[in-house]
Amino acid sequence: MTANELIQTTAPTIGSLGSAFYFAPGTLAVGKELGLDGMRWYIIGRGGVLGDVHSSVIASAFGYFHPSSIAKLWDSAKEKIAPRAAGTRYHQCAADFGRAKFSGVAGLEAYNAAAEAVVAAAHPAGLALFAGIAAEPLADDAPARAMQLTAVLRELRGSAHLVAVLASGVSPELAHYAKRPEMYKSFGYDEAAAPTVTDADTAALAAAEALTDKLVLPAFSVLDAAGADALVAGVEGLKAALG
């Protein structure tokens, strides 16, 4: 398996697995204890790794939300918890989710070693959310660590993809609408003003996916055959554990 084949095999599942804890009952319960609803907890928890910054910085890093929506959620969430504390606690929610869901998954030590090698090899330049979450400490136990690392790998591709979208000549707003039209309003946009996705846009978005693969290729290329197999097996095991 080539590194590019490894990326294409694992990327879709890492994308879904890495976000699995965001709105899980345990994560939402922690937010509720802090006086935060699900979206506010998600915004400050995921974005808190960047510190106590202006909402425009968070909007830049998240990419696909309307800036005014981010400002409303981020600023009101900061009244309940300091951003850096939120980022750390949110990362702990990922660990708690891993402990609850992945304790029976085989091969997690090998998966974690492979994932850590990819993370260590990834250049963080221009990838703010990835750099932020990658700097967070990892849990010692394998199930918790596996969930945290999967979330980090998700941010690696997500941050790189945002760069690729812009480089391919597509606005983040249009990219979001093309992929998730049912979530357009929840990201702060006016449905009545939704963009029209043309054939040229679709082609550009396909080019963005290919460019994303190219951007993350050096990081995944550090894995030998055994490491690649461990990453694939781990991703499949985590997916199966979630049903």
Q: What is the mean pLDDT of each run of 10 residues along the chain (243 residues)?
A: 95 97 98 97 98 98 95 97 98 98 97 98 97 98 98 98 96 92 90 90 96 98 98 98 94
- Tokens representing residue 155 in the block: 């941010």
Do 93 and 21 form a contact (C-beta atoms < 8 A)?
yes
Burial of 200-236, coded b for 16+ CB within 10 Å and e otherwise, reads ebeebbebbeebbbebbeebbeebeeebbbbbbbbbb
Packing angle of the helix pair 199-220, 172-179 (nearest 10 deg): 100
Q: What is the pLDDT of residue 146?
A: 98
Return the pLDDT at 149. Answer: 98
What pLDDT does residue 191 have? 87
Q: Return the H-helix or E-strand segment holding 41.
A: helix 38-47
Amino acid code (one letter) for 122: A
What is the rounded CA–CA span in Å between residue 94 and residue 117? 20
Q: Which DSSP helix (H) or strand (E) runs through 12?
A: helix 3-18
Cα 118 to Cα 112: distance, rounded to the nearest angstrom: 10
R_g of the chain computed on alpha carbons = 18
Lookup: tokens for 118: 């990819």
State whether the Cα torsion 181-155-61-95 is positive or negative: positive
| Cβ atoms of residues 178 and 189 within 8 Å | no
Angstrom distance (rounded) from CA 191 to CA 159: 26
Q: Where are the alpha helices (DSSP H) in the chain?
A: 3-18, 25-33, 38-47, 55-62, 67-77, 83-101, 108-121, 128-134, 142-167, 172-179, 199-220, 225-242
Q: Taking a C-beta distance cutoff of 8 angstroms, is the pair 139, 148 a contact?
A: yes
Tokens of 56: 């425009």
Cβ-based neighbours of 129, under 8 Å, separated by 6 or more: 46, 47, 49, 50, 61, 62, 155, 158, 159
Q: What is the pLDDT of residue 192?
A: 85
